[in-house]
Structure 1
Amino acid sequence: MLRIPVKEGENIERALKRYKRKFVKTTIKNQLQERKQYTKPSVARRALLQKAEYVQGLRDQESI
């Protein structure tokens, strides 16, 4: 559970902004999205390989 201490006299929008930033950094959002729909391990592996090929292609283009 995320806890954001709100200081006395602090603007609530500022505290919400800190909460949102901390929420994104903890990757809770990604975990919730992954649990929302089941993906077969073979599909996940294939997506991972495709992403690796894409990144490798970008790195090859940079070195040219």
Structure 2
Amino acid sequence: MLRIPVKEGENIDRALKRYKRKFVKTTVKNQLQERKQYSKPSVVRRVEIQKAQYIQGLRDAEEV
């Protein structure tokens, strides 16, 4: 569970903004989406390989 201490006199909108940033950084959203729908292990592995190939392609392009 995420806890955001609200400082004395702090605007609630500011605290909500901090909460949203922390929520995204902790990858809670990604975990919830993964649990929502089952993916076969072979599909998960294929997606990871595709991401790695994409990142490697970007790094190769930077070197040139």
Shared fold, TM over 0.5: yes
**For this pair of structures, how many residues does the alignment match?**
64
Q: Which runs of 5+ in 2 are unaligned?
A: none
TM-score computed with the length of structure 2 as normaliser:
0.92
TM-score computed with the length of structure 1 as normaliser:
0.92
Moved more, 37-46 or 52-61: 52-61
Q: Identity of paired residues, percent?
A: 81
Q: How many angstroms apart in 2 are the aligned matches of 1:8 and 1:63?
A: 50
Instruction: Output aligned runs, 1:30-41, within 5 Å.
Output: 30-41=30-41
Aligned to 2:24: 24
- The superposition leaves residues 12-61 of structure 1 with CA deviations (integer Å, 9 ceiling, x where unpaired) of 00010111111111110110011111000000000111111111111111
